[in-house]
Structure formats: C-alpha cells, structure tokens
Amino acid sequence: MIPVVAIVGRPNVGKSTLFNCLTQSRNALVSDFPGMTRDRQYGQADFDGHRFIVIDTAGIGDDIEELDKLSIQQSIQAVRESDIVLFVVDGRAGMTSADQIVADKLRSLNKVVHLVVNKTEGLEHEMVTADFYRVGFGDPYSIAASHKSGITELIHDIFRTPEADVTEDDAETGIKLAIIGKPNVGKSTLINRMLGEERVIVFDQPGTTRDSIFIPLERHDQKYTLIDTAGIRRRGKIFEATEKFSVVKTLQAIESANVVLFVIDARDGASEQDLKLLGFIIDSGKALVLAVNKWDGMTPAERETTKVTVDRRLHFVDFARIHYISALHGSGVGNLFDSINEAYESANRKLSTPMLNKILREAVLAHNPPLVHGRRVKLRYAHTGGHNPPRIIIHGNQVNSLPDAYRRYLSNTYQQRLKLVGTPVRIEFKTGDNPFRENKNVLTEHQIKKKKRLMRHVKR
C-alpha cells in the first residue's frame, strides 16, 4: 500500500511550501500570514523515485481560538492517518513553546516522526539544529523549502528502509478494480449487482461504507478483485473521525488499483468534488471507466439534460467510456466489464518503437511545431517508456519551450492512432546536450565590423 506522509507543525513554519514542493504543484496556499491553512490538503507525490500521499495540515499553536480548535483536530487526525510524520520547525525562530506543545502531542500518538528544520538557507547546519535536539526526535534535517534545498536528502533518508513491496501476481488477483465516487451514489449496490449476491451492506444513508473492502470475482474466465471504497464528500461536511480516515483509504485504493470505475449520480450530475477526485485519478495514471448511476426513473428530458451536463463537465476525460446504468435494476451493468477489460488492455499494451516514430512523423507533417526564439522545434524520435499508463518519450531540441497546446495535440494523436481507450497517455520530452556549446567561434576583424554595422540597423 502506498505510504502516507503528514506535514505538521506550528503556524507559518513553511508546511504548505514543503507540500507544494513535494507534490510539484501550487495546490496549498502560501503566505507570510500565520494560520493560512485551515483544513487538510491531500496531494500525490512522486519525488525522485518515491511515490506517496502527502497531507498538508493546519498549524498547531499554543494560542487556541475557537476556530483553531477544529484545525487542530484536523491536524491530529492527519497524524493518525499517516505512516510517517514530518514535524516542521522554523530554524530562524529557534525552539519555541509552541514547538514543544506540538512535540508532546506527536509523542503521545506514537508515530514515526522526523524533525525537519526549515528556513535554513545561508545558515550553518550545526548551529541551526543544535537547539532542536532536546525535542527528542533524533537528528534534525535542515532544509529550505522555498529554495528546494535539502529536500531530496530528506525524502531519501525517510524512505531508506522501505517495507518490502508485496507485489501480487495479476494471475492470482486478476484486474484490481476500485469503485470510486461520492457517498450514496450506489457503489455498494453496484458491487452487489456485479457479484449477484448481497455481499456489501447497502443502506439509504451516506457513509455506510467506512473502509475499503476487497472482494474476489470471476466472470467469463477473467478474475477481478473489486475494491469497494468509502465515499469522499466535501471536506467541509466531514466531521466524524472514521469518515475522515476513509479519505486516505480511498486514495490508497486508487493507487493500488489497475482500473478505476468512477460512479456518478445521474440526478446530481458531475459535481466539483467529482472533478477533483477525477483529477487525482488522472494524475495517478490509472485506467478509467465512468458509470452514471440511478438512470432508472428519469424522464427523457432529464436524461438528455444529464448527458449534456456530463459531456460538458467531463470533456477532459474523453478517453474514458461512459455508461448510463441502474445498479438497482441491473440495466447496463453487464456492459461495464467490456470497458473495464478494454481499459486494462490499453493501459498494459506494449507499444513498438517503429509505430511510435511513424505516428510522430505523420503528426509533425500534419502540424509543424511552432517557432521558439526564431527557431523551429525539432522532434527527432520517440520510444516507449513504460506502461500502465502508457509512457512515450520524445527526443528533440528546445522541447522545454514546446507550448502546452502542441503537447496535448501529440497526446491526442497517439491516443487516437493507437486506439487506446480508458487510459491516459503520458508524453515526456527529452533534449540532448550540445557537445559544442562551450566552443565559441572566434570572429575575424572583418566579421566583427560587419556585425556592428548590422546591429546599428537593428537598433534603428
């Protein structure tokens, strides 16, 4: 199971800056004003070969107001959810009474804690960390999150003794299928319909399922492992500790699955929470199938409105199949398995290098890359970089300056030409170093005079 790392500490020590650095995003708000983060922020980190879920928390301080009490509860709950805790302190402010309060709380929770001294740019490591040894969490790590300094060593060190990954053979577990969606959209009902029996508790109240449940299934000689997850609702509506715990379990289920079956309520349509969760699934690179449930009982006009809304809001996952089903009555459920198998096959398909290069040449001939600084971007060749999801590596020059629109054009071209359904295509660009970059041409006196004359015309 993918590990979970929680970032805790008193306000304004740089927790959100560290979160943004690990997730390589700007999802967390960063400000010099203490207490900016009021709620937990979840993110996916793939930092220098280490993958984990990271949680940004609100600051724990000794000046506890009524609003901050809820933030402190959120932070403590994040620690309980996590496998590793990064206790962040301010190296320039030194050890404070608020830091000691946080340390005492962490020690009572009996978690693996690493002390991280932030804001140490320009300071000596021994001097800035000497004051923090008395906290009792071992040798402190000195970093500068705003300058991304010392973070690589920190991540390598906290994962230096990783638990042995138990890799399950697909022949034994089959296709691992995670059923994801908001509470009360019919996930457990859908699993019972797939199984043909009442295996999972179903109740007309959000939050019946508290943990991820793994259920084996075999259909037409194909093995599956169904993962029923607790629904994720908007954080402002999460109060019970058990339901907050389900959020991490759901994110871990997404990471461990081969294919994600995302369930949407036809009467509610695709909400903002659905879009955020779909974004996490796409960032994870998982194969995806969409199921719009509770299709029964809707009038033709309501169905048409729902289809228009779903197509408009989910245009960014146009690679995934969409099924309109009724888990209660079973209509359309059987068709899900064909799309699940298709998405799994597409995600694990082996791509040939000649085919990738042929598609690249045809794409460039149809639409040339744009000019960058007066020079044409050249895409030389492509090869596969892995599968699940398919990764295509393209080599060329000036590829770092390639516009996002052209990157999407290449991704869509490969998606269509390779007929990959239900899985995103990740394209990475690499450029080679110029071996003659340091060799400067020595101009003759005639060339120098000519250059000066040309430059006078340019200035005019």
- Interatomic CA distance for residues 432 and 440, integer angstroms: 19
336: tokens are 């899900």
Q: Band of the pLDDT at 243, cuts 50, 70, 90?
A: very low
Stronger pLDDT, 30 or 246, i.e. the higher one: 246
Q: Residue 74: what residue type?
A: Q
- In this structure, the strands spanning 259-265 and 371-372 are unpaired
Length of the chain: 460
**CATH architecture of the domain formed by 4-158:** 3-Layer(aba) Sandwich (3.40)
- pLDDT, position 239: 42
Domain ranges in the chain are 4-158, 170-347, 353-401+419-431
Q: What local confidence, expressed as pLDDT, does residue 284 receive?
A: 85
Mean pLDDT of 25-35: 49
User: Tens digits of per-residue pLDDT, 285-343?
Assistant: 899 999 999 998 889 999 999 999 999 999 889 899 999 999 988 899 999 999 999 99
Q: Tokens 């199949």 identify what position?
A: 321
Question: Cα–Cα distance between 200 and 432 in angstroms, integer?
Answer: 54
Give me 2's structure tokens.
């993918």
Q: Does the pLDDT of residue 208 top 70, yes or no?
A: no
Asked whether the domain spanning 170-347 has the same topology as the one spanning 4-158, the reply is: yes
Torsional class of 24: left (φ above 0), alpha (ψ -120 to 50), beta (otherwise):
left
CATH architecture of 170-347: 3-Layer(aba) Sandwich (3.40)
pLDDT tens for residues 350-398? 999 999 999 999 999 999 988 887 788 889 999 998 888 899 999 988 8
Q: In what order do the strands lie in the sheet with 391-397?
A: 378-386, 391-397, 426-431
Architecture of domain 353-401+419-431: 2-Layer Sandwich (3.30)
The residue with greater pLDDT, 78 or 270, is: 270
**If residue 222 lies in a helix (H) or strand (E), which one and from where to where?**
strand 222-228
